[in-house]
Chain A
Amino acid sequence: MSNTKCETVREWIPDYVSGRPGGLDAALLESHLKACDECSAEVGLARLIFESPVDAPDGLARRVREAVRYDRASDSRPWWGVSAAAVAALALGIGISSDNPAQIEISVPAYAYESEAGDLWLSDDGLIAGAPVLDGLTDEALLQLLDELDVGGAGGAA
């Protein structure tokens, strides 16, 4: 038997059977195997295991990729959309709670008027479009609501 100890050889048998670079020179290992039935038997077993791996089902990679894509898409919700809605709600809220609504000026492009004459969202009527929910809220409470609505931005950064 070669001088290489069985313990050393057995450590690197998995790399030897798989052709991966191991920590023991292949020639040295083969020299040992020629003289050692125990280690040779272990090589045979390791080779059986390595050469008959459990195959992943067809389509698994695609399924996982799609699930990941879906998860990321749902996780990165268009935060700006939610924020815009919150800003609109905030603007409405400020308008409603103001003592003098006439002082609040919202700049609206002309095409908006053209497409939606008498636009309800630009009304200062607090009973329109769910605005009563905001009635009576302080500015601080409205800002907190804005933070809570802006979940998409926080999730995207996680």
Chain B
Amino acid sequence: MKDDERSDAIPSDEEMVERGRAGDDGALSALVERHHAAAYRVAFSMLRDSDAAQDVVQDSFIKAFRALEGFRGDSSFRTWVLTIVGNEARGALRRRGRRRETALEDAGPVPSEQKAPDAEVVDAQEAERARRMMESLPEKQKLSVALRIEEGLSFKEIGEIIGSSEGAARVNYFHGIRRLRELMQ
């Protein structure tokens, strides 16, 4: 289920954060349940390594909960934890001493594979192709596209996560989309 497909009856993140501050471990577990998938997508899109991404997700939640007292609520909990994930993933990249980010100029178009007649298979192939194209985008473009489309974040929230202004996040998104469309043609 997507994070925002929740009924009104379910406590908000803000309520869960308050409960967590009061020592309610169940509330923290609920926050993990809600946001671990988005956290993983962000970490994986940066690291391209499932094990490393899972480590980053785990460390990020631990750090977030340790710092819960200092969380002022200026941004949503989700934006806050995804920002921590982004920072942790960047740290992991630095520790690895290499970046997966590939220059756009080097990427080139990925050839379309032979399509099977079944429409679903065709869609799956196209989706996989789009994924591979996204991997070739510079990190900020890739994250902007993923966070805007997959997570539904605003450009302001995306800016907080990637360490840019709202305007820069918007530019990164539209550049990424334009480049993806070029690559997909």
Q: Name A residues whose Cβ lies closer than 8 Å to a Cβ of B.
A: 10, 14-15, 17-18, 20, 41-42, 45-46, 48-57, 60-61, 63-65, 67-69, 71-72, 75, 158
Q: Does B28 contact A (CB under 8 A)?
A: yes
Point out the residues of chain B lying under 8 angstroms from A61, CB to CB.
32-33, 36
| Cross-interface CB contact of A20 among B62, B127, B152, B181, cutoff 8 Å | B152
A45 with B130: CB separation less than 8 A: yes
B130 with A65: CB separation less than 8 A: no
Point out the residues of chain B lying under 8 angstroms from A53, CB to CB.
37, 41, 150
Point out the residues of chain A lying under 8 angstroms from B69, CB to CB.
158
List the 10 closest pairs (A to B, CB-CB), nearest first.
Answer: A52-B127, A56-B40, A56-B37, A14-B149, A48-B130, A61-B36, A65-B29, A49-B149, A14-B148, A67-B58
A109 to B25, CA, bound (A): 38
A72 with B65: CB separation less than 8 A: yes
Q: Does B168 contact A (CB under 8 A)?
A: no
A43 to B177, CA, bound (A): 11
A54 with B44: CB separation less than 8 A: yes
B40 with A60: CB separation less than 8 A: yes
B54 with A57: CB separation less than 8 A: yes
A64 with B36: CB separation less than 8 A: yes
A122 to B40, CA, bound (A): 56
User: What are 27 A-B pairs at a CB distance below 8 A?
Assistant: A10-B177, A14-B148, A15-B152, A18-B152, A20-B4, A20-B152, A48-B127, A49-B145, A49-B149, A50-B150, A53-B37, A53-B41, A53-B150, A54-B45, A55-B37, A56-B40, A57-B40, A57-B50, A57-B54, A60-B37, A60-B57, A67-B62, A68-B61, A71-B66, A72-B28, A75-B66, A158-B69
Instruction: Give residues 1-26 of B contacting A (CB, 8 Å).
Output: 2, 4, 25
